[in-house]
């Protein structure tokens, strides 16, 4: 099964609302990263949170990490139509080398 599993699989909201996506993982991690993908092509790195951090902010993005629950959340505040994309969490496993293990993603649609 996937190391990272996002919830929900799909999310549809109105512009201006907040969007929250969750990611759960199974094994100990070094860090967790969130990526955005438009139209099934290249991924864009959004934010990285280390295992000893609990919360990070970047612009309208807020990421939390709860290592006791093996979960992370990505909050996008005041969403815009341009935020429509797929969002993936990816983990760097402790002792797993330098590869990222990706979840299956959340498809976010922000409607005008």
Partner 1 sequence: GAGVSQSPSNKVTEKGKDVELRCDPISGHTALYWYRQSLGQGLEFLIYFQGNSAPDKSGLPSDRFSAERTGGSVSTLTIQRTQQEDSAVYLCASSLGPTVSGNTIYFGEGSWLTVV
Residues 6+ apart with CB under 8 A from 73: 20, 21, 22, 23, 63, 64
Q: Smallest distance, Å, CB 52 to partner 1?
A: 11
Q: Smallest distance, Å, CB 44 to partner 1?
A: 7
Residues in region 14-73 near partner 1 by CB under 8 A: 30-31, 33, 35, 40-45, 48, 50
Per CB under 8 A, the list member of 19, 100, 108, 110 interacting with partner 1 is 100
Phi, psi dihedrals of residue 83, rounded to the nearest 5°: -80, -10
Q: How far apart are the first and last CA of the chain?
A: 36
Q: Smallest distance, Å, CB 88 to partner 1?
A: 6
Residue 84 within binding range of partner 1, rule CB under 8 A: no
Cβ proximity to partner 1, 54 vs 99, nearer residue = 99
């Amino acid at each position: 099964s996937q190391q990272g599993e996002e919830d929900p699989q799909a999310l549809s909201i109105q512009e201006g609302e907040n969007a929250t996506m969750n990611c759960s993982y199974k094994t100990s991690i070094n860090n967790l990263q969130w990526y955005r993908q438009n139209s099934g092509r290249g991924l864009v790195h959004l934010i990285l949170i280390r295992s000893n951090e609990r919360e990070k902010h970047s612009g309208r993005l807020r990421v939390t990490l709860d290592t006791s629950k093996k979960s992370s959340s990505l909050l996008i505040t005041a969403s815009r139509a341009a935020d429509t994309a797929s969002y993936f969490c990816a983990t760097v496993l402790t002792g797993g080398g330098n590869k990222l293990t990706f979840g299956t993603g959340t498809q976010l649609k922000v409607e005008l």
